[in-house]
Amino acid sequence: MHYFICAGEPSGDLHASHLMAAIGRIDTEASFTFLGGDLMSEAAGKKPLIHYSRMAFMGFSEVLRNLRTISGNMKTAKNALKNSGADCFIAVDYPGFNLKLAKAAYRLGIPVYWYISPKVWAWKEYRVKSLRRYVRKMLCILPFEIDYFRQRGVDAVYVGNPSLEEIDARLTCTPDKNEFCRQHGLPADKPLLALVPGSRKGEIRNNLPIMAEVASRHPEIQPIIAGAPGRYAEDYACAAGIPVVFDSTFTIMAIADAALVTSGTATLECALARTPQVVCYRANGSRLSYNLMKMVLHIPFVSLPNLIAGKRVIAEMLVHLCTADSVDAELKAIMPGTPGQRRMLEGYDLIRSKLGTHGAAEKAAAAIVTDLDKS
């Protein structure tokens, strides 16, 4: 069968590549058309229709500046969906773009599956109506999502969380701190502070200056910036003097003594690597934005570790609360040997127990192929 897949961000590229490999093990005749990145290219043995570096735009102003690109991407994707002979469309997260493609697929009579469901339980709940109409099966990776979707008429199954297996596999081949520091010319005798400001330009612009200011207050700590795929050294110019290492985000988080992380998938990866962290999400930094966010969000937390645990495990410094002083205070509380570090690691154990076992990609692939075989 022919599978049309869309992943619009680095994390989606990773998860989609594993899903594609799992589909190929079940359906030996599988072929793919996809929007994504280098990992999906490796899995499919071909280049993407559109690389995610041309798709990931954040915030109103950035979207507005790139409307022509976004419109062109959508036109290209819809035409390819129509002409590729796809047996199904698989959306991987990235709801703003993928929901439009799901609608197009539905109108073409192409079954729609969604792997890594949109976080409509947090915001934009009105999208549930469209998901119920267009999506044949929702493949969820967070345990609490099942009841949410089923109660709203969406066929949903929990396949496990792909981050769990991926992180455990990566941990087995992660270099130790001394080796990594030697490779990148960093002092190995200092505690390492990972700065993970996100993958979008807007995230980096808003969050990295605060992270860099906090790092500057600790000459006894070596900061290092995790450079995102598709970004360039100049994107991190606001933190001059702090080394940037690209395509090593997980390694940096895993060997670090602590991390400052922009909310997203990286917060869960950091938790599974058992590195103490503080969530930093500055946005535009206004109290009004914070109040509006609180009105829009329907959840008590924004970070995945806290949502999965069902309680506060890590500190979330959001919008106007994300200042150098507040982040610095939280960082000091979780450094090695502190009671805060011990409590956080206990919370990480709880998160692992709730996520369950390995094999999310395999379970998702089996659900898709089996369902298509019934058609």
Residues 147 and 127 in one domain: yes
> Would the CA dihedral through 302, 308, 310, 314 be positive or negative?
negative
| pLDDT of amino acid 291 | 52
Residues 152 and 179 in one domain: no
Number of Cβ within 10 Å of residue 103's Cβ equals 15
User: Please, are residues 75 and 30 in contact by the beta-carbon 8 Å criterion?
Assistant: no
Residues 204 and 308 in one domain: yes
What does the alpha-carbon distance between residue 178 and residue 275 come to, in Å, rounded to a whole number?
17
Q: Which helix (H) or strand (E) holds 137?
A: strand 137-140
* Cα separations in angstroms, 130 against 95, 153, 298: 11, 11, 19
> Would the CA dihedral through 5, 262, 71, 108 be positive or negative?
positive
Residues 149 and 34 in one domain: yes
Which pLDDT tens digit goes with each residue over 232-266?
999 999 999 999 999 999 999 999 999 999 978 89
Which pLDDT tens digit goes with each residue over 267-324?
999 999 999 999 998 875 555 554 555 555 566 688 999 999 989 999 999 878 899 9
Reply yes or no on whether the pLDDT at 337 is more than 80: yes
Mean pLDDT of the chain: 91
- Chain centroid, CA 244 distance in Å: 20
Structure tokens at 54: 């041309």
User: Please, are residues 197 and 203 in contact by the beta-carbon 8 Å criterion?
Assistant: yes
| pLDDT of amino acid 290 | 47
SS3 266: helix
Strand partners of residue 82: none
> Would the CA dihedral through 198, 303, 100, 372 be positive or negative?
positive
Residues 153 and 111 in one domain: yes
What does the alpha-carbon distance between residue 117 and residue 140 come to, in Å, rounded to a whole number?
6
> For the residues of 23-90, what is the DSSP string, one character each?
HHHH-TT-EEEEEE-HHHHHHHTS--SEEGGGT---HHHHHHHTHHHHHHHHHHHHHHHHHTT-SEEE
Which pLDDT tens digit goes with each residue over 219-230?
999 999 999 988
Residues 349 and 363 in one domain: no
pTM assigned to the model: 0.74
Which residue has better confidence, 156 or 319? 156
Q: Which helix (H) or strand (E) holds 7?
A: strand 2-7
Q: Among 31, 130, 22, 44, which Cα is nearest to 87's?
A: 31
CB burial of residue 233 (10 Å; 0-12, 13-18, 19+): exposed
Crossing angle of helices 265-272 and 339-355, in 10° steps, is 100
Residues 32 and 156 in one domain: yes
| pLDDT of amino acid 245 | 96
3-state secondary structure 182-231: HHCCCCCCCCEEEEECCCCHHHHHHHHHHHHHHHHCCCCCEEEEEECCCC
Residues 335 and 209 in one domain: yes
Structural domain total, the chain: 2
Strand ranges across the sheet with 112-115: 50-51, 31-36, 2-7, 88-92, 112-115, 137-140, 156-158
- Which DSSP symbol is given to 100? H
- pLDDT range class, residue 28, cuts 50, 70, 90: very high
SS3 143: coil
- Chain centroid, CA 247 distance in Å: 15
Residues 120 and 218 in one domain: no
Residues 292 and 339 in one domain: yes
Residues 59 and 151 in one domain: yes
Which pLDDT tens digit goes with each residue over 166-218?
899 899 999 999 999 999 999 999 999 999 999 888 889 999 999 999 999 99
What does the alpha-carbon distance between residue 46 and residue 288 come to, in Å, rounded to a whole number?
46
Residues 149 and 188 in one domain: no
The CATH number for 128's domain is 3.40.50.2000
Range of the domain at 256: 166-355
